[in-house]
Structure 1
Amino acid sequence: MRKRLQFFCFFTVLVLLNLFDTYAQDRNISGVILDETNQPMPGVNIIIKGTSSGTTSNFDGKFALSLPASAEVIQITYIGYFDKEITIGNKSAFEIKMDVDAEQLEEVVVVGYGQMDKKDVTGAMSSIKSEDFNQGVVASPDQLIQGKIAGVQMTPSSGEPGAGVNIRVRGGTSLTASNEPLYVIDGFPIDNTASDPGTAGVYSASASKNPLASINPNDIASFDVLKDASATAIYGARGANGVIIITTKKGKEGIAKVDYDAYVGVSTIAKKVGVLSASEYRAATAAEGANPLDLDANTDWQDAMTREAITQNHNLGVSGGNKNTQYRFSVNYLNQEGIMVNSGMERIGGRMNITQKLADKVTLGANMMGSFTKNNNLPYGVGGALDGGVINNMLRMSPLLPTDFSSSNQLEKNPYTMATSVRDFTNTQRVLGNVFIEAQLIEGLTGKINLGGDITSAKRTAYLPGSIEWVGKGNGSADVRNNFLHNVLLEGTLNYTKSFGDFKLNALAGYTFQEFGREYNGANATGFDIDETAEHNLNAANGAVLVDSYKESSKLISWLGRANMSFKDKYVVTATVRADGSSRFGANNKWGVFPSVSAAWRIAEEDFLKNSDVVSDLKLRAGWGVTGSQEIGNYRSLPTLSGDKGYSAVGIGSGVTYNNYANPDLQWEETRQLNFGVDYEFFNGILYGSVDFYQKNTSNLLLELQAPQPAPVDVYLQNVGELNNQGVEFALNTVNISKDKFTWTTGIVAAYNENEVKNIGDYDEILTGAVGGRGQVGQFSQVIKPGLPYGTFYGPVYQGLDESGNAIVSEESEVLGQAVPSWTLGFNNTFNYGNWDLNVFFNGAFGHQVFNNTALEFSSTNDLYGEGSTYNVMKNAVDEGIRQTGYNSKFIEDASFFRLSNMTLGYTFNMNKVKHIRNIRVYASGQNLFVITDYSGYDPEVNAPAGGNQVPPIGIDYNNYPAARTFMGGVSIGF
C-alpha cells in the first residue's frame, strides 16, 4: 500500500509538471521586486493581466516569466503593499519597487466573531502562526502548539497514536464538569466530545481518542488562544476554560499554486521500565531457593511487544484565485503505526475553502472538511474479562517464558497473544463545515449569516476470540457499538466600524442558535464457535446477546454584543456581554448573563515615548469578566427514568425506575477572572513579549450530594463548591543575531499557576483516584479538600521495611504531593544560515508529582518466589528486599521534567533557474530526543484514567502506553 501511494504521489508531480509545460509562450521577461528599503521581496505574485497565468518572486526577489506576445500589462500583488500594474512595452527587464499599505501591515488577530488589529486588543490572548508550529510527526492540530503558549498545559493521556490530550488553560476551573477549552474552527464552535463509543469492558479498555485527530494539521494557518474572561466572555457559558480559535488556510489572489508535503518517520520506545531480566530473575529466585517455571527462554517482553513503527504522511494542496474568487483544496493521507504491536491510526481526508464575491459588497464563503479515521485499538488498559491488558501482562510475564508460551490460567496471559489475537477497531467518519454570506449593508455596517454543521459517525467492532487459551473454545465475545453525533449552528451578526476624528468604534451584535445531539446503540454477544466473523454476525452467538441504546440532545440560544472603542490610538476600552439560554439547566436558571470589560493604554504612543530609541511599543492592559461552563451532561436538572430487565418487580419482562433526582435550581458553574498585563517591544523588535497576572475564582461548582430521603435516588447534582486559580505568564522573544546570512532568534514562554479548593459544600473531603492492583480494593490516592490544590495526593507515608520485607507506613494519611505543575516552560531557538535552517525546541514542567501505580503493582515480590512462578517484578523491588507493600508515599514520584521535544534541520534549494517550481525544502527531524527527569516510569507526561468518587483524578500512571522517540525525513515542494 505504501509503495503504491508513493508511486502515485510521484506520478502526480510528474503529470503536473508536464501540464504546466504545455503552455506555449512567445517571449520572456525578468526582474526584481524591492520593498520600501530596497530590500528584495520573495513570494510576490506577478500575474499577466486578464489571465490567471504568472509566477512569484524567489528568495532574492527575482522573477522570470514567459508570456504571449499579446500580453501588455503585468499585475504585482503582495499583502501589506499596494497593488501595481506595469506596462510591458518593449522592455524585457524590470526593477519594481513596492509601496507600503500601512493599514494592511497592521497585525490582525482572530477574536470571537471577527478580527481585530492587535494594537486594539485589550484582553489576554496569544497567537501563533503556521511558521512557528511544532514540527515532526503531528497527528492532530493541538500537537502543533504544545509547549508554545504560556498558560496552556497539554498532557497526553497516553503514547498511543490518536490518544486524547488533556488541555488546561490557566488551570482547571471545575471538579466534575469538563475542563477542556472551547474550540472554534473557522468561526464554528465545535463540540469536542469524544466520539469513540467504547466497548463493553471485556477487552481491557484503551484510552479515549482525540476528536481533533480527525482534522489534518497541515490545513491549519493559525491558532489564537483567548485566556482571560475579558477575551472569552463573548462565548459566555462555554468560555470558562479558555477558547482556542483555529483558522485554516485560505486561497489568495494570484496564480494557482500547488504544494506537496510528505514525510516518513520511524518511532521506537523512548524508555523501558526496569523489570528483571532473565539472568536477574534466575539469580533472585535462586537466592531465595525458589523454583519458578523455567522454559529456558531469555525473553525481553518489552522488546517483544514493541517495534520500529513507520509513519508516513502526504499532503497535496492547490490554492489561488483572483479578485472575485479565492480557493484552496487539499487532500491528506496519514498512516501512523503504534510502537506497540498491532496498534496504530490511519486517516484520509480533504478540505475545501472558497470565497466568492457575488457583488462589490457581497461575499459568499464555504469551509468544508471530510475525513475517515481508522484506529487499531490495543487492549492495554486494566480490567474486564482479560484481567489486565497488554501493558501489565507485558511487565509481569516471566522472562524465562518464550513468546509462544500458552496457558489456560486466567491470571497468566501471554501479552503477545493478547495483542495480536484481539480484534478491536474504531472507524470514524466526520464532516465539518460552514457556509456564510457577508454583505456591507451601509457604509461601515456589515451583516453576516453563518450556517454550520458537524456530523460524526463512529463504529467500534471488537472481538475476544475463543481460540485464546484462557478464554476457551466457544466462549468468544463480540462487541459492536455505534455513535452518531451532530452539531448544527445558525448565527447572525452585525459589525459596525466608524471613525469620528480621533475616536474609533467597532461594535458587534449577534444571535446564535446551536443544537447538539447524540444517538448511540450497541450490542454484546458471547458464545461463538467460529471466531472468524463473529463481530459481524452476532446471531451466531450461543450465549446471551445484550443490547442497549439511547438518544439525547441539548440546545443553546444566545444573544451577544461587544464594543471596542479607541481614542487617538492610545486609550482602548472593550465591553462585552453575552446572554446564554441552555436546555441543560434547571427551570429556574435557563438563562445566564456573562459580562466583561477591559481597557488598554498604549503608552508608546504618548509624546514622552513616541520617539524613543529604546521603547518601540508598550501597552498596559486590565480586564475583568464572568464566564460559565455548561459541560455537565444532559437532563441532570430533570427527573429521568430508566428501563431495564433488572428493574422488573416480578422477575418477568422489564421495569422502569427513576435514575435522576430533579433539581430545578441547577445552574452554571461561574468563573470570575481578573487580569493585568503588559505587552512590550524594545529596540525595534530586537526584544518583545508580554507579562500577565491573573486571578480566577469559580463558584457554583457542581457536586453530587446525598438526596433527602425518602427519595427515588441516593444522590443529586447541586451547585455548592468553589475553586481558585491564580498565576503569572511570561512570553519573551529575542533576535539574538541578525546578519546578512545568519540569524538566530529565541522564544521563551513560562507560566506559574497556583490552585486551591475553597469549598466542597457538605463534604469534609472527597476521595478519588482509585488505586489499581491486587489487594488494593477500596484504596484511593487523591483527596479533594478545602485548602488543598485540586489533584492532591494523599495517603500513608513510607517508613521502610520490617524484618520480613513488608512495608512500614504511618498510621495517619498525609498530603504527599500534587499532580498539577507549578511551572510550565517552552524554550524555542531558530537558526538560519544561507539556505539552511535549524529549529530546536525544549519544553518542561516543574513542581508536581505522579502516582506510579505501575511500580506499585510490580513492587511486591512474594509471587516471584512462589512455586512455579511465572511473574516478574521491578528490579528495584528485589534490590530493596520488598516482600509486600501497598499504596504509600514511596510511589508518589517527582514528575518534573525538561524535554528536547523537537530538533529539525532543513535545507531550501535555490529554484531561480527551474521553471514551474517555486521551492523545494528537505528536512530531517527528531522528536522526544531526551528527557531529564527523576521519574522511573515510561514518561512523566501522563494521565491514565482511574476511578474515583465523582471527581476524576489526574496525574496517575497505571500500565500506560509508552511514549515514542521518532526520527523522520520529509520534503516540501511548491509549484
Structure 2
Amino acid sequence: MAREYSPFGPPFFVVWRGRPHHDFSHQRQNVMKDFTARVSILSALIGVFVLASGTAFGQHQVSGTVTDSIEGSPLPGANVVVDGTTTGTTTDEQGQYQLTVSSPTDTLVFSFVGYREKRIPIRGRSQIDVALAPGTLMGEELVVVGYGQQREESVSGSISEVESEQLEQVGVANNTDKLAGRVPGLVTRQTSGRPGGDYRNLSIRGFGNPLVLVDGVEMRMSQIDPSTIESISVLKDASAAIYGMRAGNGVILVETKRGSEEQEPRLNYSSTVSVQSPTRVPNQVTAGQMLEMRRDGILLYGGSETDAPDQQTIECYKTTGQAEGCGDAAQWQSYDWYEATYQNWSPQQEHSLSAQGGTDRINYFVAGGFLDQKGAFEEDGINFRRWNGRSNLDVDVSENIAAAMDLSYRREIRKNPTLGGPELWDQVQKANPTYRTSLPDTNLIPVANAEGQSPLGATSRDAAGFDDSGRTFLLLPVAP
C-alpha cells in the first residue's frame, strides 16, 4: 500500500494488488499547467472582444476645417465641443480639428470670439467642415453694403443699420413709421392718416426718395411684413454709388430672414395688440364762445346790434341754460362734433407665424402674417386688413452650384369713406356747436352747419357710400 495525493481532493490511500503503483504527482502538475493556460487564453479573448466592441459601438472620429463664412479664411483657435459634455478641442493654425466622440449621433458645437455659434449633428459623418458667420457685438459689428457684408470698423462710408428686434418693438402698421427716429439723417413725413395709408415721404439728408431694395429686388417699404425683416441698412453717400444714377438720393437695403445650415427647426409666433390716438387735438369752441366771437366780429367790422347775437342768448349758452330768463335748459346745449365723429383711440392687432431651419444642403424660412387696423371714426366698417406670406429657400444643388428662390405674397383690403381726411377734418372744424349731433329719429343724419355739411354723414357707408379697394402682390424672383 502506498500513500499518494490526488490533484482533485484530499489525500487518500490506493491499494494495488499484483501491480506496482503509478506516480500521480507528475500528472497533477501537467493538469494544473493546462488549466492555467486555458484560463489565460480565454481572458485574452474576452479582453479583445470588449475592446473591439467599445471601439465599434461607442467611439467615432470626426475631423474638418473651420473657416470665416465671408472671407473664407481659416479660424485658428476655434472651439469644437461635444454638446452637453466637456469633451472638445480647438483648431490649429490652418483651422483644422480632429476629435474623437463617444457616439456618431452626438452634436458638435462650433464657436469663436466675434462669430455666431453653430450646432451641427454628426449623423455618422467623419468629415464636417464649418463656415462661421461673423456675429454682432453690441449690435453693430456687421453691416450690409452694396457689394456684400463688411465689418463696421472696415467701412469708411456713412452707413446706418437697424436690426429686426428694434423694428418689432414699434406697434405700427408700416415699416416707414418703424424707421422714424432710428436712422440719423433719414426723414419720414406722414401725409395720410387713413388705415393702411403708407403714403410717407422718405428722404435721406433731404435729397428726396431713396432707392429701396429688398433682397436685391426693388420694392416699396409698405410691401414688406415687418416680422420677416432681418436688418435694414441705409447707404447715405458714395457707398451707394454701385447702384448707379437711381441711387443719387441714397439706398435702403432690406434683408429678410433666412434659414441657416444645420439649424434645428424653430417655430416662432408673435402677436401685437396696440391702440392709436392723435398726439394733439385742438380744443373745440363751445356754443357760447362761438356766439361771443361772432358778436365781437360783427360789431368790430361796423355791424349793428340787431345783426349780432344778443347777450342774453350768449349767456344762456355759456351757462347751458342756468342763467336767469333762459327757460328750458335743453335748448341751450353745446355739441362737440369732433367727439361725435372721431374716436379717442382706435385698436390695431398684428399676428405672425414663422418656421425656420436648415440641413447641410437646404435652408428654409417660411412666414405668414395678418394685420387689422381700425379707423379713427366712430362709424364702424372703416379699416385696413393685410394678409402676407413669404418663403425663402436656399439649396446647394451640388458642390459648385447653389440656388435661391424667394416667394412673397401680399393681399390688402382697404375700406375708406368717400371723402379724404383733409375734407372730413374741414367739415368738423366748420361744424356749428349749436347744431345737434344726433336726432330722435336714428334713421336721419344731422347736418353740422347751414351749408348742409355733415361729417357724420360723410363717414357713414350707408349714407355717403364707400371707397373700398383690394390689391394683391405676388413676387417670385429666382437667384441662381
TM-score (norm 2): 0.61
2:348 to 311, 318, 322: 311
Structure 1 match to 2:241: 233
Structure 1 match to 2:277: 268
Answering whether residue 370 of structure 2 is matched by residue 337 of structure 1, we say: no
1:119 Cα deviation from its structure 2 partner: 3.5
Structure 1 match to 2:176: 142
In the alignment, the residues of structure 1 paired with residue 111 and residue 403 of structure 2 have an alpha-carbon distance, to the nearest angstrom, of 23
Which residue identity lines up with residue 366 of structure 1 in the other structure? M
Answering whether residue 337 of structure 2 is matched by residue 301 of structure 1, we say: yes
In the alignment, the residues of structure 2 paired with residue 87 and residue 406 of structure 1 have an alpha-carbon distance, to the nearest angstrom, of 75
Which residue identity lines up with residue 418 of structure 1 in the other structure? A
Answering whether residue 287 of structure 2 is matched by residue 257 of structure 1, we say: no
Which residue identity lines up with residue 279 of structure 2 in the other structure? A
The 5 A counterparts of 1:366-445 are 366-381=405-420, 389-404=423-438, 406=446, 411-421=451-461, 422-437=465-480
Relative distance call for 1:104 and 1:381 in structure 2 (3 A) is closer
| Residues 127-183 of structure 1, C-alpha deviations (whole Å, 9 max, x = no match) | 1211233623221222222111111111111333323111110113xxxxxx21100
Relative distance call for 1:78 and 1:277 in structure 2 (3 A) is farther
Answering whether residue 401 of structure 2 is matched by residue 362 of structure 1, we say: yes
In the alignment, the residues of structure 2 paired with residue 259 and residue 139 of structure 1 have an alpha-carbon distance, to the nearest angstrom, of 20
Aligned to 1:390, what secondary structure does the other structure show?
helix
1:217 to 226, 243, 247: 226
In the alignment, the residues of structure 2 paired with residue 224 and residue 46 of structure 1 have an alpha-carbon distance, to the nearest angstrom, of 35
Answering whether residue 138 of structure 2 is matched by residue 104 of structure 1, we say: no
1:213 Cα deviation from its structure 2 partner: 2.7
Aligned to 2:456, what secondary structure does the other structure show?
helix
Asked if the contact 2:284/2:336 (under 8 Å) is kept, the reply is no
Aligned to 1:299, what secondary structure does the other structure show?
coil
Which residue identity lines up with residue 309 of structure 2 in the other structure? G
In the alignment, the residues of structure 1 paired with residue 204 and residue 295 of structure 2 have an alpha-carbon distance, to the nearest angstrom, of 53
1:280 Cα deviation from its structure 2 partner: 2.3
1:273 Cα deviation from its structure 2 partner: 1.4
Which residue identity lines up with residue 453 of structure 2 in the other structure? K
Aligned to 2:241, what secondary structure does the other structure show?
helix
Relative distance call for 1:411 and 1:146 in structure 2 (3 A) is same
The 5 A counterparts of 1:248-647 are 248-253=256-261, 254-285=263-294, 288-289=308-309, 296-307=332-343, 308-342=345-379, 343-381=382-420, 389-404=423-438, 406=446, 411-421=451-461, 422-437=465-480
1:189 Cα deviation from its structure 2 partner: 2.3
Relative distance call for 1:357 and 1:147 in structure 2 (3 A) is same
Identify which range, 290-299 or 212-221, moves more after superposition.
Answer: 290-299
Aligned to 1:369, what secondary structure does the other structure show?
strand
Larger RCO, structure (CA 8 Å, separation 6 or more): 1
1:296 Cα deviation from its structure 2 partner: 4.7
Asked if the contact 2:356/2:364 (under 8 Å) is kept, the reply is yes
Structure 1 match to 2:89: none
Bigger CA radius of gyration: 2
| Residues 327-351 of structure 1, C-alpha deviations (whole Å, 9 max, x = no match) | 1111100001122345331101111
Structure 2 match to 1:65: none
Q: Which runs of 5+ in 1 are unaligned?
A: 1-43, 48-68, 89-99, 173-178, 193-211, 383-387, 438-975
1:324 Cα deviation from its structure 2 partner: 1.0
In the alignment, the residues of structure 1 paired with residue 260 and residue 146 of structure 2 have an alpha-carbon distance, to the nearest angstrom, of 23
Relative distance call for 1:105 and 1:374 in structure 2 (3 A) is closer
1:406 Cα deviation from its structure 2 partner: 3.7
Structure 1 match to 2:109: 76
In the alignment, the residues of structure 1 paired with residue 122 and residue 223 of structure 2 have an alpha-carbon distance, to the nearest angstrom, of 48
Which residue identity lines up with residue 185 of structure 1 in the other structure? V
Aligned to 1:412, what secondary structure does the other structure show?
coil
| Residues 801-860 of structure 1, C-alpha deviations (whole Å, 9 max, x = no match) | xxxxxxxxxxxxxxxxxxxxxxxxxxxxxxxxxxxxxxxxxxxxxxxxxxxxxxxxxxxx
Aligned to 1:339, what secondary structure does the other structure show?
coil
Asked if the contact 2:211/2:252 (under 8 Å) is kept, the reply is yes
| Residues 926-964 of structure 1, C-alpha deviations (whole Å, 9 max, x = no match) | xxxxxxxxxxxxxxxxxxxxxxxxxxxxxxxxxxxxxxx
Which residue identity lines up with residue 284 of structure 2 in the other structure? V
Answering whether residue 205 of structure 2 is matched by residue 170 of structure 1, we say: yes
Relative distance call for 1:45 and 1:352 in structure 2 (3 A) is farther
Relative distance call for 1:268 and 1:122 in structure 2 (3 A) is closer
| Residues 40-91 of structure 1, C-alpha deviations (whole Å, 9 max, x = no match) | xxxx9969xxxxxxxxxxxxxxxxxxxxx99731233568257577999xxx
State the percentage of identical aligned residues. 25
1:282 Cα deviation from its structure 2 partner: 4.5
1:122 Cα deviation from its structure 2 partner: 2.8
In the alignment, the residues of structure 2 paired with residue 73 and residue 183 of structure 1 have an alpha-carbon distance, to the nearest angstrom, of 44
1:117 Cα deviation from its structure 2 partner: 3.5
In the alignment, the residues of structure 1 paired with residue 214 and residue 233 of structure 2 have an alpha-carbon distance, to the nearest angstrom, of 11
Answering whether residue 223 of structure 2 is matched by residue 185 of structure 1, we say: no
Relative distance call for 1:214 and 1:403 in structure 2 (3 A) is farther
In the alignment, the residues of structure 2 paired with residue 146 and residue 303 of structure 1 have an alpha-carbon distance, to the nearest angstrom, of 29
Relative distance call for 1:304 and 1:77 in structure 2 (3 A) is farther
Asked if the contact 2:407/2:474 (under 8 Å) is kept, the reply is yes
Aligned to 1:104, what secondary structure does the other structure show?
coil
In the alignment, the residues of structure 2 paired with residue 242 and residue 345 of structure 1 have an alpha-carbon distance, to the nearest angstrom, of 31
1:225 Cα deviation from its structure 2 partner: 0.5
Asked if the contact 2:368/2:389 (under 8 Å) is kept, the reply is yes
Which residue identity lines up with residue 360 of structure 1 in the other structure? E
TM-score (norm 1): 0.31
Aligned to 1:329, what secondary structure does the other structure show?
strand
In the alignment, the residues of structure 2 paired with residue 103 and residue 402 of structure 1 have an alpha-carbon distance, to the nearest angstrom, of 67
In the alignment, the residues of structure 2 paired with residue 390 and residue 407 of structure 1 have an alpha-carbon distance, to the nearest angstrom, of 13
Asked if the contact 2:164/2:231 (under 8 Å) is kept, the reply is yes
Asked if the contact 1:138/1:217 (under 8 Å) is kept, the reply is no
Q: Which runs of 5+ in 2 are unaligned?
A: 1-80, 85-101, 124-129, 297-307, 318-329, 439-444
1:216 Cα deviation from its structure 2 partner: 1.0
User: RMSD of the TM alignment (CA)?
Assistant: 3.4
| Residues 217-267 of structure 1, C-alpha deviations (whole Å, 9 max, x = no match) | 111110111101x21211112011110000111112311111010021223
Relative distance call for 1:189 and 1:414 in structure 2 (3 A) is same
Which residue identity lines up with residue 345 of structure 1 in the other structure? F
Which residue identity lines up with residue 166 of structure 1 in the other structure? N
1:101 Cα deviation from its structure 2 partner: 8.3
In the alignment, the residues of structure 2 paired with residue 125 and residue 407 of structure 1 have an alpha-carbon distance, to the nearest angstrom, of 54
Asked if the contact 1:296/1:401 (under 8 Å) is kept, the reply is no
Asked if the contact 1:134/1:143 (under 8 Å) is kept, the reply is no
